Amino acid sequence: MTDQPSAGSGEPIGPVTMLATPIRLDFDFTPGVAQSRFLRGLERGTFLGQRCPTCHKVYVPSRGTCPTDGVATTEDVELAGTGTVTTYCVVNVPFAGQSIEIPYIAAQVLLDGANLSFMGLIQEIPADEVRMGMRVEAVWVAPDELTPSLASVRYFRPNGEPDADYDTYKEYL
């Protein structure tokens, strides 16, 4: 704590008790065997999930085990790039580090053949027309821009099919 002179006047403005500094975080991510498989799939432009040998449910992305049964998932399942919006919100709040222009749709997308939804961006439709049950398809980046990351999926967009019946996805809300 030191007395700081104020600009120009030479008068002290009191002790410094608080200092705001920029925040920054750089880190390396080590995905492990199961997530590497999923990320390598994204690099090839496909969604790769895994089926539990006990309950036969398909996890995407798979963490390598079924949390319900406590067993390793070993069978790879390649999923189509189509799915259903189970629920969503319209994000209209700015925050530090945000990379997408607001407002945007953050939706839970249940890929066809999967038993777990994940969060995806919805575009090519006005925000007030997005619906629970809306059918969507993945839009990938150009082949030479594919990376082992979900950044390979630019967004999901309506695929023109009729909305899914509530009963078909209500277990995945």
Q: Which residues contact 154 (CB under 8 A, 6 or more apart)?
A: 121, 123, 139, 140, 141
Contact criterion met (CB below 8 Å) for 161 and 129: no
- Residue ranges in 88-127 that form contacts with other proteins under rule CB under 8 A: 88-93, 95-100, 103-104, 106-108, 115-116, 118-121, 127
Cα→Cα distances 29→45, 75, 148, 164, Å: 21, 24, 12, 36
Cα→Cα distances 68→22, 121, 146, 170, Å: 42, 28, 33, 19
54 binds, among Zn ion, other proteins, none (CB under 5 to 8 A by kind): Zn ion
89 binds, among other proteins, Zn ion, none (CB under 5 to 8 A by kind): other proteins
Which of 34, 42, 58, 66 binds Zn ion (CB under 5 A)? It is 66
Q: How many residues bind other proteins (CB under 8 A)?
A: 55
Contacting range for other proteins; rule: CB under 8 A; set: 2-10, 63-71, 76-84, 136-144: 63-71
Site residues, Zn ion (CB under 5 A)? 52, 54-55, 66, 68-69
